[in-house]
Amino acid sequence: MLHGVDFSGAAQAGHDIWIAEGEVRADELRIETCDSAADRFGVAERAPCLGQLSAFLRDADTVGLDFPFGVPATVHQRDTWAGSLEWVATAATDADGFQEICRSRAREATDGERADLRRETDGPVGALCPYGSHVWKQTFFGIRDVLAPLARTDEVAVRPMQDGGDTSLCEVYPAATLASCDLPAAEYKDGGQPARERRRTIVEGLAAETPLAFPQGVRAELIDDAGGDALDAVVAALATYRAREADFEPDRAWDPIEGHIYV
């Protein structure tokens, strides 16, 4: 099985983390289920939910997760990607402290001109600064509580930085994947009718133009979920499928000590 995960660092993260599960049949990725972590694991509070997610990932096959797998080299100042994970995991005791340290280091490196820097992999796909005001909690909790512990094991390989392992994890960014498919990549995440119609357009476009296939129940859920988390999880699964089909070979410039986004 192959999975896509739309991640969250919120206090009740289980309601916002969604997991899409698909099976590859010939040249098709059929999404069998898509549900929230709260429904799957029976817990919404961040710490126990992320613990359940980590245990799930340890036994999975191939999974793409929608959060930054690193920070800019200028900020972490470590020689290896694995070292950068350990820096994030230990630099601060909470997400706000992590953001403050990152911005302080960025200002020092740029003579006070810039606080929010991006990785080499971020710019070409339009991804945000990993510790900026939109994703700093996802980065901190995703790395500290999920990615770093898994990356230390022999059973898990985080692509393309690591090889081997029974489980492959990779970083994905659904907005960039949607843009690559010439589908709406914004303004589809609210309860209004225009956003709902954008979700419908996205689902129909994915079914018509990509290897994705959905049962009718999943299709309806993707359109009905006003937060767009279910849809993002499915798009994460598509990016993961593409990455695995390419044997996790990066398709653009990237820095091996910062991480790589698969689109």
The pLDDT value given to residue 200: 97
| 45-58: average pLDDT | 98
Mean pLDDT value across the chain: 97
Q: How confident is the model at residue 40 (pLDDT cuts 50, 70, 90)?
A: very high
pLDDT digits (tens, 9 = 90+) for 127-148: 999 999 999 999 999 999 999 9
Host H or E run for residue 233: helix 229-245
pLDDT digits (tens, 9 = 90+) for 65-105: 999 999 999 999 999 999 999 999 999 999 999 999 999 99
Q: Map 74-125 to HEC letters.
A: HHHCCCCHHHHHHHHHHHCCCHHHHHHHHHHHHHHHCCCCCCCCCCCCCHHH
pLDDT digits (tens, 9 = 90+) for 209-251: 999 999 999 999 999 999 999 999 999 999 999 999 999 999 9
CA distance linking residue 234 with residue 5, whole number of Å:
8
Host H or E run for residue 198: helix 193-209
Among residues 139, 6, 65, 81, the alpha carbon closest in space to that of 259 is found at 81
| 143-166: average pLDDT | 97
The pLDDT value given to residue 24: 95
The pLDDT value given to residue 104: 98
Contact between 148 and 140 (Cβ < 8 Å): no
| 43-71: average pLDDT | 98
The pLDDT value given to residue 57: 98
The pLDDT value given to residue 173: 98
The pLDDT value given to residue 258: 98
